[in-house]
Amino acid sequence: MKPYWIKTPKFIKRLFNNQVWDIPNSENKIYLTFDDGPTPQVTEWVLSVLKNYNIKATFFCIGKNIENHPDILKIIISDDHSIGNHTFNHLNGWKTQSNKYLENVALCNEKFKNLEILNRKSQISNLFRPPYGKIKPSQSKKLRQLGYKIIMWDILSADFDQTITKEECLGNATKKVTSGSIIVFHDSQKSFKNLEYALLKTIEILKEKGYQFDTIR
């Protein structure tokens, strides 16, 4: 059995109901999200796919990658996608002291603030996704007190898993989607083999089923 759920169980959503797992709506809207960028070539490829389909998505960015590749983040913003904080160093909250974790989140936020395009558009993000989905209740509480919305997910593509096939990745991303689903992909080098195959087909399958894509704000 894989050490993760493809479809987040309802009991987990109820247990941690102060975090956002899906966004119920009557318009068949779903939400593509991408973690771990910006990554040269990979993120740019994702952006080109989204532009071709006229789809907006949400990118949860690592601060270190923002620091190294600010021009890619500027494209994400100028294309009117939404952005979120994914810590500066991709920290596992379960294994990190809370003060260090919160400092790392703040450091990532500083990288957003340093971008002039964000300040012009007033788009400093209050979205946060914990790397690996692992965050202590005390960390979650403090971040929410600071004004962050903690965005989890309903559907995990598992594109990062090197042991699954690209066809399995596609099935993960499409088979259990419902209106309001938040779907996770990763714009990272590690995930690209599966992502390159699955993303286009996921979009086509879900559009065929009548779903509309939207950003998380």
Which residues are the active-site residues? Answer: 35, 186
Residues 112, 85 contacting (CB under 8 angstroms): yes
Quote the CA–CA distance of 201 and 195 in Å, as a whole number.
10
Residues in the chain, total: 217
DSSP string, 147-172: T-EEB--SEE--TT-TTS-HHHHHHH
Q: What is the dihedral of CA 100, 74, 113, 91, to 10 degrees?
A: -10
Whose tokens are 């979120």? That residue is: 84
- Closest listed residue to residue 108, CA positions, set 135, 133, 126: 126
Whose tokens are 């960390």? That residue is: 139
